[in-house]
Amino acid sequence: EAQVTQNPRYLITVTGKKLTVTCSQNMNHEYMSWYRQDPGLGLRQIYYSMNVEVTDKGDVPEGYKVSRKEKRNFPLILESPSPNQTSLYFCASLHRYDQGLAGYNEQFFGPGTRLTVL
Amino acid sequence: RKEVEQDPGPFNVPEGATVAFNCTYSNSASQSFFWYRQDCRKEPKLLMSVYSSGNEDGRFTAQLNRASQYISLLIRDSKLSDSATYLCVVPRGVWNTDKLIFGTGTRLQVFP
């Protein structure tokens, strides 16, 4: 089954304790992304990766790190979590259909990780 | 103008009703647009894409108005299972479909 998996699904931690949220996809997609979702703010992109060893900042990268050592995995690292990073996090991989110049694509999202930083 | 703006709702409609949501966007160069559906605190899933004047899939119709820079989603014969939040998604660039901007969503509640 084609899917994006994330772990853990739920995490409560304390300020300053480093954590990693794993993300894995089995669709051989080149492009992967991390989002956070907060009430009233919608989904905001944290980091994205266009291929192995290629990563770039999204709109809200502060306080996060990522790596892309292999195509299927794209972990999100919080070196020193703070309460303002309490959020719902989604990993996504993107399939490009590339119909002419329209650039049609579809993002497949993981089930989400609900993070609480105390 | 915000990059992507949606009426948050909620839209409360009875089963069988027709309902329409609008989404306005600021990037006049965008070529492709998307509607995603998100059930309560679950992951978003692609509902429809639009890259010409419109697209239709069963009870769902997405239309694009480039002059006024908005896209709409029309749902006919609403079902209870249509209750969800509908997210409008617009690329930030021209052909740059990598940076996708998500609206905050419009919540739909269909009642019996």
**What gap in Å lies between CA A108 and CA A91, rounded to an integer?**
8
Contact A42 B102 (CB under 8 A): yes
**What gap in Å lies between CA B46 and CA A103, rounded to an integer?**
15
Q: Are B26 and B2 in contact (CB under 8 A)?
A: yes
The residue type at B12: N
Quick one: pLDDT at residue A100?
54
Name the H helices within A37-102: none
Quick one: pLDDT at residue B52?
76
Contact B44 A107 (CB under 8 A): yes
CA angle A102, A106, A110 (to 5 degrees): 160
**Which is more confident, B30 or A50?**
A50
Question: What mean pLDDT value characterizes chain B?
Answer: 90
Residue B17 contacts A where some CB pair is shorter than 8 Å: no
Residue A95 contacts B where some CB pair is shorter than 8 Å: no
Q: What is the mean pLDDT of residues B80-99?
A: 83
The residue type at A36: R
**Residue of chain B whose alpha carbon sits nearest to that of A49:** B98
Contact A112 B41 (CB under 8 A): yes
Nearest to B43 among A103, A105, A109 (CB): A109
Q: What is the mean pLDDT of residues B72-77?
A: 97
CA distances for A34 relative to A43, A45, A57, A113, B64, angstroms: 10, 6, 10, 11, 28
**Average pLDDT by consecutive 10-residue portion of chain A (118 residues)?**
94 97 96 94 93 93 97 97 97 79 77 97
Chain A residues touching residue B42 (CB < 8 angstroms)? 111-112
CA distances for B90 relative to A55, A106, B69, B70, B84, angstroms: 21, 12, 11, 10, 20
Instruction: Check whether B64 has a pLDDT greater than 70.
Output: yes
